[in-house]
Amino acid sequence: MSDELRRTLIDPPQKVKLMYQAVIDLINGNRNIDAIKVSDITQQAGIGKGTAYEYFNSKDEIIVKALIYEMMQRLDEVQEILYSDKSFQEVIYCILDIIAVHFHENRTFCTIFKIWMGAYDIPSSMQDIYNEVHHMVHKNHLMRMTDRLIEIGRMEDKIGQQNRLLCTTALNAQIVSYVIYIISVTKDDDSSVSLDTVKEFVYQNIIKTLS
């Protein structure tokens, strides 16, 4: 990861954190990301408008990095689980629980996931920045975490010796299917099943695909 990305994402200065939180609060308050202005961000953060340009080149950069920063906070939760003494099944369940909780309670997290799935269109000016930053995060964090998850599965003989790309594809496919269920189901839907049932279904599909 470049020094610039590390400075603004891994250990950002306090004023940058305030701007990130401002973006998150605005999105969680049902503001569309393409309608957010720099003045909205700095006013919400309680800092001067000019301060934003001391750290960022554009509004789009602030918003995209705020989204990625929020995602990385959730990845920290996942990483803690990956290096605990939990079993492969428990790790899968915990990851799915994190997704479910934040998907319902955190509109920013929901937005990030939809962008990742290609189900949320962002302005082209943001897309280029997102692609660059997300690639760096994927390379430096997501790949290592996926490797760790595969390692846990293999230590318990839950996952065979398929190549890494196949394992990653299968894991991502099941996570996406879980998210699609969460998006589709409503509280008043009589045909819905419990999340525990869905988690077990996802876990068993992972085992069937990769054992």
Q: What is the pLDDT of residues 164-192, one digit of tens each?
A: 889 999 998 999 899 888 878 755 565 56
- The torsion defined by the Cα of 87, 199, 134 and 18, in degrees rounded to 10, comes to -90
Q: What is the pLDDT of residues 43-59, one digit of tens each?
A: 999 999 899 999 998 99
- Report helix, strand or coil for 160: coil
Give the model's pLDDT for residue 131: 84
Q: What is the pLDDT of residues 59-100, one digit of tens each?
A: 999 999 999 888 888 888 999 999 999 999 999 999 999 988
* Residue 139 pLDDT exceeds 80: no
| Eight-state DSSP code of residue 47 | S
Is the distance from CB of 18 to CB of 45 less than 8 angstroms?
yes
**Average pLDDT value over all residues in the chain:** 87
- Report helix, strand or coil for 69: helix
For the whole prediction, is pTM greater than 0.85? no
